[in-house]
Amino acid sequence: MEQLEKAQKNKLDLSKIDEILRQYDYKKSNLIAVLQKVQEFYKYLPEDAMTYVAVKMNISPASVYGVATFYSQFSLDPKGKYEIKICDGTACHVRGSMPVLNAVRKRFNLSERKITTDNMLVTVETVSCLGACGLAPVVVINDKVYPQMTPDAMKIVLDTLLKEENEG
Ligand code: FES
């Protein structure tokens, strides 16, 4: 119960989680689906949200955490407003995804270990084959696909994106 109070104190919008739990009948067998929905809402799985789910579903928080860390679809870290995914599957790698990745990381002062900017604007990740190898190297920014990227082409894309962001 102490964990539950902590989650509530941290002011997460738990009403949304209640709604999701109701939708899935609080059934333990629906845990993955519940976590997927929670992640859809927060864009990641906040620790307090996982604790809340555990308490409400009568599962130990360690088990929920175990499931969340086992599946790569779940992220335990908050993501930036713009999620930049750079494909590093074989086709993209061979056609130069790494220089694109390095250019993007450099621009935002990010690295393999630090993937999100402090202002939560951008997260940069590599992903495996996106199934669009004919367009390699491929970059996806919040579901929009950018084909045949080069460091220069990426610079133009990011300049445009940041300009739009600044203009609000
Ligand atoms: S390897 Fe990048 S889309 Fe297939």
What spacing in Å lies between the alpha carbon of 135 and ligand 1's midpoint?
Answer: 8
- Quick check: bond before 137 cis, omega within 30? yes
Q: Residue 47 — very low, low, confident or very high, per pLDDT cuts 50/70/90?
A: very high
Q: Which residues line ligand 1 (CB under 6 A)?
A: 87, 89-92, 129-133, 136, 138
Which of 53, 48, 51 is closest to 37 using CA atoms?
Answer: 53
**Cα distance from N-terminal residue to C-terminal residue, the chain:** 42
**What is the mean pLDDT of the segment spanning 39-59?**
93
Q: In percent, how much of the chain has pLDDT > 70?
A: 93
pLDDT value at residue 68 = 95
> Could you tell me the distance, in angstroms and rounded to a whole number, from the CA of residue 148 to the centre of ligand 1?
11
Read off the amino acid at residue 167.
E
Residue 87 alpha carbon, nearest atom of ligand 1: 2
pLDDT of residue 5: 56
Give me ligand 1 centre to Cα 167, in Å: 33
Mean pLDDT on 92-121? 96
3-state DSSP helix/strand/coil % of the chain, to nearest 5: 55, 10, 35
In the chain, beta strands by DSSP E: 82-87, 122-127, 139-141, 144-146
Mutate which of 86, 133, 140 for ligand 1? The one with the most ligand atoms within 8 Å of its CB, which is 133
For 139-153, the pLDDT digits (tens) are 999 989 999 999 999
Task: Provide the pLDDT for residue 143.
Answer: 87
Give the residue, by CA position, lying nearest to ligand 1 atom 1.
89
pLDDT tops 70 at residue 4: no
Q: Determine the distance separating the centroid of ligand 1 and the alpha carbon of 151, expressed in angstroms.
A: 17
Distance, CA of 161 to CA of 163 (rounded, Å): 5
Distance 94 CA to ligand 1 centre (A): 10
With CA atoms as reference, report the closest residue to 64 among 46, 48, 77, 51. 51
What was the pLDDT predicted at 12? 74
Residue range 14-43: mean pLDDT, rounded: 94
